[in-house]
Structure 1
Amino acid sequence: MRFAKQKRHRKAVRFFTACFGFREPFKILCDGTFVHHLIANGIAPADTALMNILGAPVKLFTTRCAVAELKSLGSSYSDSVDAARSLMIARCDHENRKSAVACITEVIGEKNTEHFFVATQDAELRKKFQQIPGVPLVYALRNALFLERPSAFQQEFAKAAEEERSRMTDLEWKMLKLKKKRVANDEERDSSETEDQILETLSPRTNVKMTRIDKADKAQVKRKKRAKGPNPLSCKKKQKQGNTDTASEKTRSQGRSQEGDGENSTRNRKRKRSRKSKTSIVS
């Protein structure tokens, strides 16, 4: 049960901070009934108790009219009067004392520009503030404090405000139209400049005179073709000198060996004699 209550309180605080701009430390405006209930039920210190339900540091306020109303109730409320005087005083600018209900409603106004949490035990006052957007309400039951959920009116007001923020205002719509016109004019200027540049490049220059050239003149103007060298890809590579010397030496040695072989062969042929002839002569 305690966890569900804390979750409900966090959700309500998140709603008011997101939709109505409440910021820490939260300011809590207390009337005389709430201060008296805290003293009677021993809920002290009050700021820590309120900080536990809101999850953020708080500052407690009251008005001079609320303190005067408590003081007028008699000596039985003396402790409550002392506790109320210890709180910070919210400016109400009332020369003549009014009731606490009227004073607090004037301080809150129609929009609650000061972003006050209102802490009261008056049920009629809580119902009245439920019809004003952006007024979170705190009340007490015995020794426990509670933060009321946002009313249906407050939730509908927050949705409508969010839809209005998403739409464009008349001033924004006019500014958008002007911007579109400027962009269109800039595009037209760029296109015209490009067309002028193209025409300048294509049109003939006035300083240069165009002359026709006859065929005979063309033949005179033609230059003679120079003789081109051989295709380097079809030519053989040049041989190195060392390679040529070795190749010539090889060819010379081969020629000498062939000559030596020829002489030997002739000599061998000359020396050969037939033995049969010798025997025939001897016999």
Structure 2
Amino acid sequence: MRVKKQRRHRKIVRFYTACYGLRQPYKVLCDVNFVHHLVVNRITPADKALANILGAPVMLFTTKCAISELKKQDLRHVPSHSQALEAAESLITARCDHERAMSADDCIMDIIGQNNPEHFLVATQHADLREKILKIPGVPAIYALRTALFLESPSAAQRQFVKTSEEQRLHMTDLEYEMLTKGTKNMSTTHQEKDRSDEDGFGDQNLEVQAVAKKHTARKGLGVKDKVQFKRKKAKGPNPLSCKKKKTLKNPDLHSVQERKDGDATLRSRKKRNRSRKGKRPVEADG
């Protein structure tokens, strides 16, 4: 049962986050009777218990009107009310601009309004208040049964609101329809002008000139050049550090003479024949 309950709560939270934009940490607006129920059944700490249901960190809020309503109750006969008052005063007080103190239910409904701009989750034990809250789009309701906390499933009105909003997104608005009609009228006028110019024989030339002029003016206004200009890298000389230095000759005549001598010597060495000494015998010396 606990696993099924957690799955159901995750599904409900996913619905509200996807369709109504609830974000972490979730803001829970607690009623006085809900705080009193937590104190009596010892569901502490309250923020951790609510965080386990929603699967995310939680910030607990209450209102000044709710605290004043709790103060008006008789605290002598019921000691748990004093503990509930201390717990309510420790919570964050939501802003309500009421000159006179209202009932807690009316104050909560006034803070939520028609579209719940602060994205509050309301925790209350009043069934009538929960029914009113579930009629407003994007307001989840939390209640407690003994030591267990539950998250109300979305009402039919909230689901229908999501469907209608999705259908409105699919269809065009009045402004978009006007823009579309204007665009079609402009297209029809341009086609008519094109047909007339084709009959005259100068349609293609005029259209080309107009297109070129429009492009030229638009690019001038934006400061863009007509064509992309690529700078070609010119071929440079070799790296001077990787080249050897030229040798300077002091006496070029001597160098030329020496080269000639070296050339003659190589030719002579090539003309020499290698003589074999196989047939000759060594001459024996006379005794």
> Any unmatched runs of 5+ in structure 2?
207-287
- How far 1:198 moved relative to its partner? 5.8
- How far 1:197 moved relative to its partner? 5.7
- How far 1:30 moved relative to its partner? 0.4
- How far 1:81 moved relative to its partner? 0.9
The AA in structure 2 aligned to 1:92 is: C
- 1:8-58 CA-to-partner distances (Å, cap 9, x unmatched) read 111111111122221222111001011111111111111111111111222
* Distance (Å, rounded) in 2 between the aligned partners of 1:180 and 1:25: 49
Aligned match of 1:135 in 126, 136, 139?
139
Aligned residue number for residue 33 of structure 1: 33
The AA in structure 2 aligned to 1:196 is: F
* Distance (Å, rounded) in 1 between the aligned partners of 2:205 and 2:134: 74
* Greater Cα radius of gyration, structure 1 or 2: 1
TM (norm. structure 1) is: 0.66
- The aligned runs of 1:1-283 (5 Å cut-off) are 1-75=1-75, 76=79, 77-188=81-192, 195-196=201-202
SS in structure 1 at match of 2:53:
helix
SS in structure 2 at match of 1:130:
helix
The 1:149–1:189 alpha-carbon spacing in structure 2 relative to 1, beyond 3 Å, is same
The AA in structure 2 aligned to 1:2 is: R
* Distance (Å, rounded) in 2 between the aligned partners of 1:67 and 1:134: 26
The AA in structure 2 aligned to 1:24 is: Q
- How far 1:189 moved relative to its partner? 5.3
- How far 1:7 moved relative to its partner? 1.0
- 1:72-117 CA-to-partner distances (Å, cap 9, x unmatched) read 1232211111111111111111111111011111111122122110
* Distance (Å, rounded) in 1 between the aligned partners of 2:7 and 2:92: 29
SS in structure 2 at match of 1:29:
strand
- How far 1:180 moved relative to its partner? 2.5
Moved more, 138-147 or 124-133: 124-133
The 1:73–1:42 alpha-carbon spacing in structure 2 relative to 1, beyond 3 Å, is same
The 1:26–1:190 alpha-carbon spacing in structure 2 relative to 1, beyond 3 Å, is farther
- How far 1:183 moved relative to its partner? 3.6
Alignment check: 8 A CA contact 2:194 2:203 kept: no
- How far 1:159 moved relative to its partner? 1.2
> Any unmatched runs of 5+ in structure 1?
201-283
- How far 1:66 moved relative to its partner? 0.5
* Distance (Å, rounded) in 2 between the aligned partners of 1:190 and 1:125: 68
The 1:71–1:177 alpha-carbon spacing in structure 2 relative to 1, beyond 3 Å, is same
The 1:188–1:98 alpha-carbon spacing in structure 2 relative to 1, beyond 3 Å, is same
The AA in structure 1 aligned to 2:153 is: R
- How far 1:158 moved relative to its partner? 1.6
